[in-house]
C-alpha cells in the first residue's frame, strides 16, 4: 500500500510525525530517504517526541554518532543516520537486529546500506514540492493497516474541529481497543479507538461472537447513555464516529482504586462494592432505541458460559500440564459444569458490566455519593447475575485481593442490598457468587495464557498465582464440592 501526502509547513510535518508515531509497534523498521533538507530529521524528531510525550525533548541528528537510542514508555527507539558510513557491512556493528527485538529502528539514508537492512515495514520518501514537501510511504500488511487507521483518526479529528489537536498515546488493554489523549488550546480529551475485531479460536468459530463481545462502538455509546441516565458517572461523548469506531469523550481522571505500589486501597474497593448495590436497584432494558442507533444487550447465556470456561482447557490446561486436554476430559468437564450453568441462568439478574475491576474504575476524590466513582469499559456488558460484577471486583483479576478484603467487599454489598427495595436473598447470592467466581477465573486463567502464547503479552502471566488462589476460594463452597474434586483430579487446581 502506498500513502502520499503533501505537508505544507513545519507544523504539518510535526502533525504527521504524531500520526505516524502512533502507528508504530515493537519490531518495526522505518527507513527515511530524501535529499538534504527535505525534513528527515524534523520528522524523526516529531516521532521521538510523540512517543516520549515530551515536546521539549532534545532529539539531535545522529549524523556524527551514527546511532542514538531512546528508552521510551512503550518501547525503545533506535535512531540512526547512515550518511557517513563507508561500507554497507558497517551496519552489522550497529545492532539493528537486536534493537528491533525490543523496539523500533528508524534509519535515515538507508540507501547507504545497499540492501543490507532488509525490507522495511515503513519506507518513507521525502521530497520538496512547492513551498512544502511531499511524503510517500510504502507499507504492507499490518504496518499499512495501522498507518491507515492512524490517518483515519486524524481525518476524524479534522471533521470534528480538532484537526490541529496534539495526539499522545494513553493506554491499551488486552483487547483491540486503544486510547489517546488529544490536546487542544482549551484542555484535553480522550479519543477511543475501537475498530471492529473478531477473535477466532482454534476450531474456527468466532469466540467474540459466541461470547457476545461488542462488535462496534455503538454498543459502548448505547450503554453509556443508559448508565448516565440512571445517575452514574461514565464518559460524556463529545463526538462520535459510529461507522469507523471512533469516539471523543471527556476525561474522568487518572485516580483509581490502587495505590502507587499497585496495592488495593481498601475503602475504595468497599465503596465500589456499595455502588454495585445501587446499580442493581436500577432498571436496565435489554432493548433500547435511540435516534442514531438501536441497543440490544445480550443475555449471559449457556453458550457464553461454555465458550468462556472452554478457554481453561484450550489454553491453561496445556500450559500447566504440558499436554492437550483429552476428549473424555472435555466431555466430563462440561458435564460437571452443566448444573451450575443452570443455577447461573436462573439467578437474580441485572446489567453486568463484565469487567468491573481496577483498570475500569475511576476514583473521583472530590465528588460525593454515586458521583465518586466513574465507570469505563462496559461495552461487552450483558444481562446476567448480579453476583458477577461483585466477584469481578472482589476477585480483581489484575491485583491480588486477600480474603479479608474480599469478605469486606461482599459484606458491604450485601448490607446495602438489604436496605434497598429489591428483594435480596443473601444465601442464594453467595452460591451464585461462588459459581460466577469459579466460572470467571477459569475463563481468565485461559485468557491470560492465551495473551502470552498467541498475542505475545507475557506480562499477564504474573497474575496467575492470585487467580489460582481465587479459584480455590470459590471451589470451597459446599455446593461446588463435586466440581472441586474434578478440578483437583484433572490437575486444574491444587488440593
Q: What is the pLDDT of residues 361-389, one digit of tens each?
A: 999 999 999 999 999 999 999 999 999 99
Out of 128, 159, 190, pick the residue that ends a domain.
159
Say if residue 316 is in the same domain as residue 432.
Answer: yes
Are residues 145 and 260 located together in one domain of the fold? no
Residue 416 lies in a domain: yes
Whether residue 469 lies inside any domain: the answer is: yes
Lowest mean per-residue pLDDT among 89-103, 171-185, 205-219, 392-406: 205-219
> pLDDT per residue over 211-242, tens digit each?
667 788 999 999 999 999 999 999 999 999 99
How many domains does the structure of the chain reveal? 2
| 249 is a domain residue | no
- State residue 36's pLDDT score: 86
What Cα–Cα distance (Å) separates residue 31 from each residue in 106, 121, 202, 375, 453? 6, 8, 36, 42, 30
Half-sphere exposure (CA, 13 Å, Cβ side) for 490? 24
pLDDT at 334: 97
Q: What is the pLDDT of residue 202?
A: 44
Tell me whether residue 265 is in a domain.
yes
Give the pLDDT confidence score for residue 206 in this predicted structure. 66
In the chain, what are the helix, strand and coil shares in percent, each to the nearest 5?
45, 20, 35
In a domain, 230, yes or no: no
Q: Is the pLDDT of residue 175 over 70?
A: no
Mean of the per-residue pLDDT values for the chain?
A: 94
State residue 148's pLDDT score.
Answer: 98
Q: Which pairs from 33-36 meet CB under 8 Å and 24+ separation?
A: 33/109, 33/110, 33/111, 33/123, 33/124, 33/125, 33/126, 34/125, 34/126, 34/127, 35/127, 35/128
Residue 204 in any domain: the answer is: no
The pLDDT value given to residue 271: 98
Distances from the Cα of 208 to the Cαs of 196, 199, 200, 431, in angstroms?
11, 5, 7, 28
In this structure, the answer to whether residues 149 and 270 fall within a common structural domain is: no
The residue to which cell 487446581 is assigned: 493
155 with 259, same domain? Answer: no
Stretch 179-201: mean pLDDT, rounded?
A: 86
Last residue of a domain, one of 132, 159, 186: 159
**Domain annotation covers residue 237:** no
Going by the DSSP 8-state scheme, the letter that residue 324 receives in this structure is: P
Does the pLDDT of residue 199 top 80, yes or no? no
Cα separation, 239 vs 192, whole angstroms: 10
Question: What pLDDT score was predicted for residue 174?
Answer: 53
Domain boundary among 142, 159, 176: 159
pLDDT in tens, 453-478: 999 899 999 999 999 999 999 999 99
What was the pLDDT predicted at 254? Answer: 92
Confidence of residue 173 (pLDDT cuts 50, 70, 90): low
Same domain, 266 and 139: no
What is residue 291's predicted lDDT score, i.e. its pLDDT? 96
**Is the sign of the CA dihedral 115, 117, 120, 122 positive or negative?**
negative
State whether 142 and 263 are in the same domain: no
CATH number assigned to the domain comprising residue 56: 3.40.50.300
Output the pTM of the full model: 0.90
Average pLDDT rounded to a whole number, residues 109-121: 89
Looking at the domain assignment, is residue 170 inside a domain?
no
Mean pLDDT for 316-329 is 97
Give CA–CA dist 326/420, Å, rounded: 48
Give residue-wise pLDDT tens across range 397-455.
Answer: 999 999 999 999 999 999 999 999 999 999 999 999 999 999 999 999 999 999 999 99
The rounded distance, in Å, linking the Cα atoms of 291 and 370 is 28
* Per-residue model confidence as pLDDT tens digits over 12-50: 999 999 999 999 999 999 999 999 888 898 999 999 999
* Cα 135 to Cα 78: distance, rounded to the nearest angstrom: 22
Beta-bridge mates of residue 471: none
Tell me, yes or no, whether 343 and 470 share the same domain.
yes
CATH number of the domain within which 378 lies:
3.90.1200.10
Q: Could you read off the pLDDT of 245-303 as tens digits, one per residue?
A: 999 999 999 999 999 999 999 999 999 999 999 999 999 999 999 999 999 999 999 99
On whether both 342 and 480 belong to a single domain, the answer is yes
pLDDT at 352 over 90: yes
Same domain, 477 and 340: yes
Order of strands, sheet of 178-184, starting from the edge strand that comes earlier in the sequence: 166-172, 178-184, 187-193, 246-249, 237-241
Cell numbers that stand for 202 in this block: 482454534
Domain range for 369 is 254-489
Amino acid at each position: 500500500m502506498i500513502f502520499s501526502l503533501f505537508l505544507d509547513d513545519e507544523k504539518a510535518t510535526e502533525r504527521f510525525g504524531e500520526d505516524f508515531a502512533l502507528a508504530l509497534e515493537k519490531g518495526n523498521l522505518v527507513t527515511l530517504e530524501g535529499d538534504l533538507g527535505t525534513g528527515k530529521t524534523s520528522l524523526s524528531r516529531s516521532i521521538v517526541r510523540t512517543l516520549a510525550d515530551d515536546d521539549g525533548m532534545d532529539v539531535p541528528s545522529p549524523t556524527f554518532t551514527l546511532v542514538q537510542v531512546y528508552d521510551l514508555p512503550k518501547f525503545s527507539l533506535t535512531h540512526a543516520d547512515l550518511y557517513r558510513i563507508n561500507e554497507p557491512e558497517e551496519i552489522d556493528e550497529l545492532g539493528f537486529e537486536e534493537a528491533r527485538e525490543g523496539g523500533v529502528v528508524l534509519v535515515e539514508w538507508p540507501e547507504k546500506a545497499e540492501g543490507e537492512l532488509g525490507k522495511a515495514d515503513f519506507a518513507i520518501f521525502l521530497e520538496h514540492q512547492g513551498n512544502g514537501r511531499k511524503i510517500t510511504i510504502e507499507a504492507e500488511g499490518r504496518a499499512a493497516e495501522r498507518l491507515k487507521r492512524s490517518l483515519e483518526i486524524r481525518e476524524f479529528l479534522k471533521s470534528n474541529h480538532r484537526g490541529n489537536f496534539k495526539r499522545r498515546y494513553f493506554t491499551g488493554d488486552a483487547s483491540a481497543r486503544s486510547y489517546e489523549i488529544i490536546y487542544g488550546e482549551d484542555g484535553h480529551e480522550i479519543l477511543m479507538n475501537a475498530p471492529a475485531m473478531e477473535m477466532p479460536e482454534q476450531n474456527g468459530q468466532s469466540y467474540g461472537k459466541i461470547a457476545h463481545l461488542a462488535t462496534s462502538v455503538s454498543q459502548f455509546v448505547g450503554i453509556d447513555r443508559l448508565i448516565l441516565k440512571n445517575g452514574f458517572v461514565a464518559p460524556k461523548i463529545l463526538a462520535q464516529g459510529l461507522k469507523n469506531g471512533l469516539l471523543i469523550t471527556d476525561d474522568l481522571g487518572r485516580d483509581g482504586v490502587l495505590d502507587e505500589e499497585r496495592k488495593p486501597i481498601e475503602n475504595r474497593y468497599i465503596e465500589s462494592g456499595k455502588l454495585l448495590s445501587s446499580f442493581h436497584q436500577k432498571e436496565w432494558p435489554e432493548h433500547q432505541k435511540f435516534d442514531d442507533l438501536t441497543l440490544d444487550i445480550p443475555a449471559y447465556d449457556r453458550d457464553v458460559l461454555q465458550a468462556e470456561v472452554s478457554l481453561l482447557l484450550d489454553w491453561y490446561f496445556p500450559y500447566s500440564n504440558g499436554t492437550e486436554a483429552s476428549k473424555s476430559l472435555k466431555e466430563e468437564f462440561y458435564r460437571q459444569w452443566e448444573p451450575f450453568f443452570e443455577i447461573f441462568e436462573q439467578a437474580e439478574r441485572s446489567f453486568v458490566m463484565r469487567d468491573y475491576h481496577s483498570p475500569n474504575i475511576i476514583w473521583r476524590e472530590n465528588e460525593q455519593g454515586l458521583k465518586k466513582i466513574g465507570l469505563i469499559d462496559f461495552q461487552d456488558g450483558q444481562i446476567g447475575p448480579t453476583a458477577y460484577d461483585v466477584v469481578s471486583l472482589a476477585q480483581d483479576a489484575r491485583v491480588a485481593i486477600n480474603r479479608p478484603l474480599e469478605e469486606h467487599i461482599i459484606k458491604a454489598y450485601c448490607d446495602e442490598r438489604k436496605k434497598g427495595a429489591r428483594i435480596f436473598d443473601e444465601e442464594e447470592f453467595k452460591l451464585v457468587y461462588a459459581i460466577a467466581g469459579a466460572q470467571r477465573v477459569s475463563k481468565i486463567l485461559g485468557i491470560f495464557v492465551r495473551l502470552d502464547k498467541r498475542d505475545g503479552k507475557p506480562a499477564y502471566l504474573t497474575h496467575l498465582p492470585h487467580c489460582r488462589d481465587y479459584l480455590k476460594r470459590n471451589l470451597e463452597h459446599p455446593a461446588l464440592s463435586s466440581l472441586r474434586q474434578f478440578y483437583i483430579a484433572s490437575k486444574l487446581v491444587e488440593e
